[in-house]
C-alpha cells in the first residue's frame, strides 16, 4: 500500500501512528506522491516473471550495470538526413556491442559522472573512456576552445 502525500505531505500524526517506510525517488519536489508511487510500481512490476515479453530484458537493462543507456535507433535508417550509425547496420555483433558500451559510458560520463566516480573499471571500459576523452579534447581544440581540463 502506498500512502501518497499531496502538496505539503502527510499529516505528521498519521506518520507517527502508522510509522510507514518512507521512500525517495530523487532530489526534486512533486505536487503529490502519486507519480512517485507509479514510478516505484512500474520499476517493481518489471521484475515479475512474465510481465516483460523477454525475461532477459530486465537483466539487460542499462541501469542494471549502473550506466546510462546507449542511443536507440529504429527504422527507417535515415530520418530527415539523420542516419543510424553505420556500425549498427554492419552485422558485426562484436563491433555493435563495443559501440553500445562506449556510448553508454559516454552518456554516463556526460550526464551522470557521479555514477563513474567510485566504479572499478575493467580494461575495456578504461580504454573506451580514454577514447571518449580524447575525442572531446579533439573537438574542443578544433573549435578553438583550447584543451578540456
Question: If pLDDT is split at 50, 70 and 90, which confidence band does 63 have?
Answer: low
Q: Quick one: average pLDDT of 59-88?
A: 89
Q: Which helix (H) or strand (E) holds 97?
A: helix 93-111
Chain mean pLDDT for the chain: 91
Model pLDDT, residue 146? 60
9 pLDDT above the threshold of 90 = no
User: What's the grid cell of residue 132?
Assistant: 571518449
Model pLDDT, residue 132? 98
Domains annotated for the chain, with CATH where assigned, are 1-60 (no CATH), 62-149 (1.10.1270.20)
83 by DSSP, 3-state: which?
A: strand
Of the candidates 30, 43, 42, the one whose C-alpha atom is nearest the C-alpha of residue 4 is 30
pLDDT above 90 coverage of the chain, percent: 72
Model pLDDT, residue 147? 54
Amino acid at each position: 500500500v502506498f500512502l501518497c502525500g499531496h502538496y505539503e505531505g502527510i499529516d505528521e500524526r498519521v506518520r507517527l501512528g502508522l510509522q510507514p517506510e518512507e521512500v525517495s525517488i530523487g532530489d526534486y519536489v512533486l505536487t503529490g506522491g502519486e507519480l512517485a508511487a507509479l514510478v516505484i510500481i512500474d520499476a517493481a512490476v518489471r521484475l515479475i516473471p512474465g510481465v516483460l515479453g523477454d525475461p532477459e530484458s530486465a537483466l539487460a537493462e542499462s541501469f542494471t550495470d549502473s550506466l546510462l543507456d546507449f542511443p536507440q535507433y529504429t527504422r527507417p535508417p535515415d530520418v530527415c538526413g539523420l542516419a543510424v550509425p553505420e556500425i549498427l547496420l554492419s552485422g558485426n555483433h562484436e563491433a555493435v556491442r563495443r559501440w553500445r558500451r562506449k556510448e553508454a559510458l559516454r552518456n554516463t560520463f556526460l550526464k551522470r559522472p557521479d555514477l563513474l566516480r567510485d566504479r572499478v573499471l575493467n580494461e575495456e571500459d578504461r580504454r573506451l573512456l580514454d577514447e571518449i576523452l580524447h575525442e572531446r579534447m579533439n573537438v574542443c581544440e578544433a573549435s578553438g576552445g583550447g584543451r578540456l581540463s
